Amino acid sequence: MKKIKVLNIIASWEVGGAEKVVLSFLESANDNRFEMHVAALINKGSLKQNFKSLGIETYDLGIKYTWQYYKVFKLIKIYRNQNFDIVHTHLLKTDIIGGLFAALCKVPIRISTKHNDNSLMNYVKKKLDFFSSYIFDAFIAVSESVKSDMIKRGLKEQFIHIIYPSTLALKEQDIYKSESIDIELSEDDKVIIGCLCRLHPVKGLDYLIKSIPIILKRLKNFSIVIAGADKDGYLYSYKELIRQLGVSAYCKFIGYKENTKSFLSQIDIFVLPSISEGFPQSTLEAMYQKKPIIATKVGGLREQIIEGENGFLVPPKNEDKLAEALITLIMDPIKRHKMGQSGYEMVIDKFNCDNMVSSILNLYLSCYYKKSESRR
């Protein structure tokens, strides 16, 4: 039987959420019915070697901006030379560039994974997202909330498949540099609250910072440690807010940490106060480390967290409710332990990598055989 040739297109080789999901998928997709390839729009980041170590052909496209269509000739050449059966894109930019030219080059099957809803996109991006949807044969939604958003935008439900992403099977010793993280805030009696995210207003970090004075009215045996990259230049404003509130002794930013496992192993509570989310992997990784979760009632977080079992869900943009949930867990180590164990069991049972891999491969096969039948 001829192998089914699949090209996954990602934004870059950086260690981002979508990129880690694709690597996790390909690392575990040991199926000789498929020949897997990966392309990145931007030749930036360290993951390329990880894909290569799997024996996967990789391509650098050199397309930094969506409007750089004059750079797509390399992509067109790859499509024509390789004769892919399936092109699978991830995130809006790859949908527009990879999906559109896959259609123009008559790649038989185009699949798009929607890693987020489009609620925070500007008008132009929403229009591009809507019109690009017509070039795909199937969609993967990473959560029920993303699927609901897609249906509201006019996509037909029968073309949308919910597949929960998982990075839990990644060989972290190969992906991450050996890294010792000294959070420098811990004392024997302090509860360490950790947050792992990029520094951006959508992550709701200002509400987490504003919750600190509220917590301090009740107790003082805690520290908040925030790890994440400051690609958009918001760190100064967060530090200024901390200074204005006079809580610098209780909150620290430690920068981007590739070794999330090491970071998560040192905290007691994981918090993610986002305003909008798709299906974040940081919460699953924290659950896998048996940490209780406090998160907001947005996106796929509502599917990851069962209220009172593996964590608490609070309204977004609400520092009072966030502080209340944090106080509850800071004061109750037994509850922290029980929630951490419950979260671990949930992630092993429901959000494991094997479920993701088998679901994606079955979707590939379904689309391939359906297309083959239509040609007869």
Instruction: With cut-offs at 50, 70 and 90, classify the pLDDT of residue 170.
Output: low
Q: Answer yes or no: are the C-beta atoms of 177 and 15 closer than 8 Å.
A: no
Q: Which residues, in sequence order, are CB contacts of 153 under 8 Å at separation 6+?
A: 118, 129, 130, 133
Q: Answer yes or no: are the C-beta atoms of 160 and 139 closer than 8 Å.
A: yes
Looking at residue 376, what is its pLDDT? 58
Question: Helix, strand or coil for residue 135?
Answer: helix
Q: Answer yes or no: are the C-beta atoms of 223 and 251 closer than 8 Å.
A: yes
User: Percent of the chain, pLDDT > 70?
Assistant: 93
Q: What is the DSSP string of 208-265?
A: HHHHHHHHHTT---EEEEEE---TTS-HHHHHHHHHHHT-GGGEEEEE--S-HHHHHH
Asked if the domains at 4-169+352-375 and 182-349 fall in one CATH topology, the answer is yes
The 3-state secondary structure of 265-306 reads: HCCCEEEECCCCCCCCHHHHHHHHCCCCEEEECCCCHHHHCC
Q: Rounded to an integer, what distance in angstroms lies between the CA atom of residue 130 and that of residue 176?
A: 36
Top-confidence residue, 172 or 191: 191
Looking at residue 134, what is its pLDDT? 87
Residue 117: C-alpha distances to residues 46, 298, 331 (Å): 27, 11, 35
Mean pLDDT value across residues 339-365: 96
Q: Rounded to an integer, what distance in angstroms lies between the CA atom of residue 218 and that of residue 101?
A: 58
91's torsion region: left (phi>0), alpha (psi -120 to 50) or beta? left
Domain locations in the chain as residue ranges: 4-169+352-375, 182-349
Looking at residue 17, what is its pLDDT? 85
Q: Rounded to an integer, what distance in angstroms lies between the CA atom of residue 194 and that of residue 266?
A: 9
**pLDDT of residue 174 exceeding 60:** no
Mean pLDDT value across residues 112-128: 82
Q: Where are the alpha helices (DSSP H) in 300-350?
A: 301-304, 319-330, 333-349
| Number of DSSP helices (H) and strands (E) in the chain, helices first | 16, 13
Mean pLDDT value across residues 216-235: 95
Looking at residue 177, what is its pLDDT? 46
Q: Answer yes or no: are the C-beta atoms of 161 and 152 closer than 8 Å.
A: no
**Structure confidence by residue, pLDDT tens digits, 148-167:** 999 988 888 999 999 999 98
Q: Which helix (H) or strand (E) holds 358?
A: helix 353-375
Which of 88, 74, 75, 72 has its CA nearest to residue 6?
Answer: 88
Looking at residue 127, what is its pLDDT? 80
Looking at residue 260, what is its pLDDT? 86
**pLDDT of residue 121 exceeding 80:** no
Q: 149 phi and psi, to 5 degrees? A: -65, -40
Mean pLDDT value across residues 211-225: 97
**pLDDT of residue 171 exceeding 90:** no
**pLDDT of residue 93 exceeding 80:** yes
Looking at residue 30, what is its pLDDT? 87
Top-confidence residue, 376 or 30: 30
Which of 281, 282, 279 has its CA nearest to residue 267?
Answer: 282
Residue 39: C-alpha distances to residues 10, 56, 89, 185, 361 (Å): 6, 10, 10, 41, 19
- CATH 3.40.50.2000: does it fit domain 182-349? yes
- CATH 3.90.550.10: does it fit domain 4-169+352-375? no
Q: Rounded to an integer, what distance in angstroms lies between the CA atom of residue 350 and that of residue 104?
A: 38
Q: Answer yes or no: are the C-beta atoms of 7 and 84 closer than 8 Å.
A: yes
